Structure 1
Amino acid sequence: MSFLYIILLGLVQGILQFLPVSTSGHIVVLENLLGIDSYTGLPLAAFLYLGSLAAIIWGMKKDILRLLLEFCRIIYDILTNLRIYMDNRKTGRNNAYRRLIHNNYQKLVVLLLVTSIPTMILGFLSRELAGAWGSSLLFPAIGFLISGVVLLVVDFIKKGNKIPRDTGYDCAMWIGICQGLSVFPGVSRMGLTVSAGLLNGLSPSFAVRYSILASVPAILGAFFVEVPHLGQGNLTPGLFFAFLLGTVVAAVTGMLVMRWMLRIVQRAKLRIFAYYSFLIGIAVLAVYLVR
């Protein structure tokens, strides 16, 4: 596998990860055109997303550190409530329990946990099917077209203004389902999750921010699912180094363009990305038909 190919894939991953177009779809199309098989492509995609994760952590470190702190506080309050419960049962007292959610960040922690559950289930169950989906240009083309339709429809819906404290757990679940479905190449993870958020009344800025934060556990989960499969193929030291190179390129590129790309997403109309998805989908479908 040429290092130039890996650098190209890393650049695509780093730039498109923060736009509501399918990064995995672009990667799979390039892999098909470059002759990279899906059994190499899936682990490679996991490493590329790990690079994007590094960029997200770097760009949103304040939010992520605050979320980790509030998660620890929630765990502490749960343990405290358990101790109060045991003490009440033992002594017959009726001591009050601690509230588990005190602020927006604690609510955001719980929302992200709810989102992660359907994402992990769908992602794990769909791994093999996603690999088969990526072995042909037909299915990514369909995925691009589906993403375009969703983005176009949502763009004409009146935007809400909900922030974490106003967001229901059913909204978090639907975002998680959409994120789980984006395991299929061509289906945009950010496009579907932002659309699900907007349909549930989230403000555009919060929908984008939530989509990025929700990707952190999803990327970690996808990477650890792929790790056991690395030894099943012909993973040579050279191939492993190529994976690491792709990770670094995706990370550095993501760090450089993340804020700029997110600013574009928050200000631009979703229909622009819908039209782009339609064009890519039609182009990929045309290539599939003439090959």
Structure 2
Amino acid sequence: MDTLQVILLAIIQGLTEFLPISSSAHLILPSQILGWEDQGLSFDVAVHLGSLLAVIIYFRKEIGVMISAWVNSIFKGQHNDDSKLAWWILLATIPAVVFGFAFKGMIETYLRGPGVIAISTVVFGLLLWVGDKMSRNELTEYQTGWRKALMIGFAQAIALIPGTSRSGITITAALMLGLTKEAAARFSFLMSIPVISGAALLMSKDIISGQEAVDYHAMGLGVVMSFIAAYTCIFLFLKLISRIGMTPFVLYRLTLGAVLCGFIFL
């Protein structure tokens, strides 16, 4: 890949990892419009690492408190809001892990086509609108509870379908379960840490066991650019979400879905 391609793809991944607009839908656009080839596993690992670093650094204080509280809950039997939140995030991760291992082959074989991505972009965009309208905006992430956390976790597993958007479907579920917009976004972003970490580790394993050549310059630049894009995205999203709501993202998804359908079916 040339430098412009690396920068553009890294920024796209960094932004769309946390906005509820589907990263997979955006990553097929350059190939459809510009004829770019697939960027390869090593670059995917790099941009995921950049996004992971962004969310960890942004929530570093919360993560530190949760880890400490979680350890105390195990070894000292001391439970508080932070330890409960840590347990709920871990619980919410289980469905994606289970379904990912169970259906990985089927998804890669049958559901990675551009038609599926286009349709999912529209369908789950409409569902995001429904979730926004249904939301009671009452609960913080510390009031989620294990049942709601598990339900959000099952929603995250649905994001294995390309075009769904991991952040989009988890925020949708959280809104439907009564969380405020800010709490839904924070819970979704914190949930991304174990999921992105696991995905990056699996992809790294595939790289090590495969024969793909590694472009370290592209990887380094990809990490930096995706980090900048993802950190900026998280900061602005949490600042603005209570004022703008989900409607702009719904409209964007419907427009994007229509554009993708135009490229694919016309």
Give the Å deviation of 1:28. 3.2
Higher Cα Rg: structure 1 or 2?
A: 1
Q: 1:28, 1:185 within 8 Å by CA — same for their partners in 2?
A: no
Task: Provide Cα deviations, 1:70-94, integer angstroms capped at 9, x if missing partner.
Answer: 12112212xxxxxxxxxxxxxxxxx
Equivalent residue for 1:151?
128
Q: Which amino acid aligns with 2:218?
A: A
Aligned equivalent of 1:127 = 104
Seen in structure 2, the aligned counterparts of structure 1 residues 265 and 3 have a Cα distance that, compared at 3 Å, is same
Quick one: which amino acid aligns to residue 99 of structure 2?
L
- Write the distance in 2 (CA, Å) between the matches of 1:125 and 1:41: 24
SS of the residue corresponding to residue 152 of structure 1 reads helix
Q: Which residue of 1 aligns with 2:17?
A: 17
Match of 1:215 in 2: 192
What does the per-residue CA deviation read over 1:266-291, in whole Å, with 9 as the maximum and x for residues that have no partner? Answer: 3212122111111101110110013x
Aligned counterpart, 1:264: 240
Give 1:288's aligned residue. 264
Tell me if structure 2 keeps the 8 A contact 1:32–1:137. Answer: no
Q: Give, as a single letter, the amino acid of the residue that structure 2 aligns with 1:66.
A: V
Q: Which runs of 5+ in 2 are unaligned?
A: none
Pairing of 1:148-187 with structure 2 (within 5 A): 148-187=125-164
Amino acid paired to 1:68: I
Q: Residue 122 of structure 2 contacts residue 253 of structure 2 at CA under 8 Å; is this kept in 1?
A: yes
Question: Is the contact between residue 115 and residue 174 of structure 1 (CA under 8 Å) also seen in structure 2?
Answer: yes
Scaled by the length of structure 1, the TM-score of the pair is 0.83
Pairing partner for 1:229 from 203, 206, 211: 206
Alpha-carbon distance, 1:130 to partner: 4.1
Q: 1:192 aligns with which of 169, 177, 183?
A: 169
User: What code does the residue aligned with 1:36 have?
Assistant: E
Partner of 2:56: 57
Q: Is the 8 A contact 1:133 1:185 kept in 2?
A: no
- Aligned residue for 2:85, secondary structure, equals helix
Q: Which amino acid aligns with 1:121?
A: V
Contact 1:22 1:189 in 2 (8 A): yes
User: Measured at CA, do residues 19 and 164 of structure 1 come closer, stay the same or move farther in structure 2, by a change above 3 Å?
Assistant: closer
| Matched position secondary structure for 2:160 | coil
Q: Give yes or no for the alignment of 1:141 onto 2:141.
A: no
Deviation at 1:165, TM superposition (A): 4.7
Q: Please tell me whether residue 276 in structure 1 is matched to residue 255 in structure 2.
A: no
Q: Residue 115 of structure 1 corresponds to which residue in structure 2?
A: 92
Deviation string 1:40-93 (CA, Å, 9 cap, x unpaired) is 54553343122111111111111111111112112212xxxxxxxxxxxxxxxx
Give the whole-Å Cα distance in 2 for the aligned partners of 1:163 and 1:105: 12
How many angstroms does 1:25 deviate by? 2.1
Residue pair 2:89, 2:191 contacting (<8 A) in 1 also: yes
TM-score in terms of structure 2 length: 0.90
- Residue aligned with 1:237, SS: coil
| Distance verdict in 2 for CA 1:262–1:126, change over 3 Å | farther
- Structure 1 residue ranges without an equivalent (≥5): 78-97
State the identity as a percent. 28
- Residue in structure 1 matched with residue 227 of structure 2 by the alignment: 251
> Is 1:3 equivalent to 2:18 in the alignment?
no
Q: Distance in 1 between matches of 2:108 and 2:217?
A: 22
When structure 1 is superposed on structure 2, of 276-285 and 171-180 the one drifting more is 171-180
Shift of residue 151, structure 1, vs aligned partner: 0.9
C-alpha displacement of 1:105? 0.7
Q: Deviations over 1:196-216 (max 9, x none)?
A: 111111122211110100000
1:70–1:106 contact (8 Å) kept in structure 2? yes
Q: Is 12-21 or 52-61 further displaced after alignment?
A: 12-21
2:252 is aligned with what amino acid? Y
Q: Distance between the aligned counterparts of 2:245 and 2:195, measured in 1?
A: 26
Instruction: State the shift of 1:220 in Å.
Output: 0.4
* One-letter identity of the residue aligned with 1:64: I
Deviations, residues 135-180 of structure 1 (Å, cap 9, x unaligned): 5321110120122111121122142312345322121111111212
Per the alignment, do residues 6 and 133 of structure 1 end up closer, same or farther by CA in structure 2, a change over 3 Å counting? farther
Number of aligned positions between the proteins: 265
Residue 36 (structure 1) aligns with: 37
Amino acid at match of 1:258: I
Change (3 A) 1:146 1:187: same
Q: 1:28 to 1:265 in 2, by over 3 A?
A: farther
